[in-house]
Copies of this chain bind each other. A is one copy, B any other.
Amino acid sequence: MQSTVEKRSDRKHRQIMQAATKAFVAEGYDGTSMDEIAAKASVSKQTIYKHFSDKDHLFTEIVLATTQQVDHVVGLVANTLNDSEDIAHDLGRLGRTFVEVLMAEELLQIRRLVIANADRMPDLGRSWYEQGFGRILAMLASCFRTLAEKKLLTIEDPLLAANHFASMLLWIPMNEAMFTANNTPRTKAELDRLATAAVRAFLAAYGARP
């Protein structure tokens, strides 16, 4: 019985989050009312307030929940790079995964919402970055440090190098997605071109010195 109650509560929680995500993405934070979310989630406003104390908390939970989407990428970075025997190949594979995961439509929509509300919710923006993409960069930096110790890379500042790699890879498609809301997945050829160029430039800058 207890477990059925919990499940029902979990289900309502998820239902509210899904309806609220759609509403926030479509109407923005200010344009979305708790009444609207209640109607879209088919629950009472009272039920929403039982799960989330106010709109701010609901929005925060929705935004931070998306940071879990990078968990497997963080793991993939570690698994791929720590014993890498072909850094160019493995960085290229990682690069393509970064673009696919980070350019997923829902994540881009949340990214635009975080930016739209950054002046009022700077701490949320910081937490979202640190718990999300920041963890990928930190793991990348940690692997770069290990590879530099093995003389397979030449890096003084691993976190800056991780940012250089990510920026060369993501700058073009991310700017386009941000400014034009064009979330159309890139073709495989475009992805390959961006990843190959970023890896080539990165290894020229940070590769092993003879």
Q: B-contacting residues of A (Cβ < 8 Å)?
A: 28, 30-31, 112, 114-116, 118-119, 122-123, 125-126, 128-129, 157, 160, 163-164, 166-168, 170-172, 175-176, 178-182, 197-198, 200-202, 204-206
Expressed in whole angstroms, the Cα–Cα distance for A141 and B112 within the complex equals 29
Residues in B whose Cβ lies below 8 Å from that of A197: 157, 160, 164
Q: Nearest-CB distance from A109 to chain B (Å)?
A: 8
Return 21 A-B CB contacts under 8 Å, by A number.
Answer: A30-B31, A112-B116, A116-B116, A118-B180, A118-B181, A122-B181, A122-B182, A123-B180, A125-B179, A125-B180, A126-B180, A157-B197, A163-B168, A164-B171, A164-B198, A166-B171, A171-B171, A200-B205, A201-B201, A202-B205, A205-B205
**Smallest CB gap from A156: residue in B:** B197
Q: Nearest-CB distance from A133 to chain B (Å)?
A: 8
Report which of B119, B181, B206 forms a contact with A112, defined as CB distance below 8 A: B119
Expressed in whole angstroms, the Cα–Cα distance for A163 and B126 within the complex equals 25
**Smallest CB gap from A134: residue in B:** B175
Expressed in whole angstroms, the Cα–Cα distance for A28 and B117 within the complex equals 9
In contact, A175 and B129 (Cβ under 8 angstroms): yes
Residues in B whose Cβ lies below 8 Å from that of A200: 205
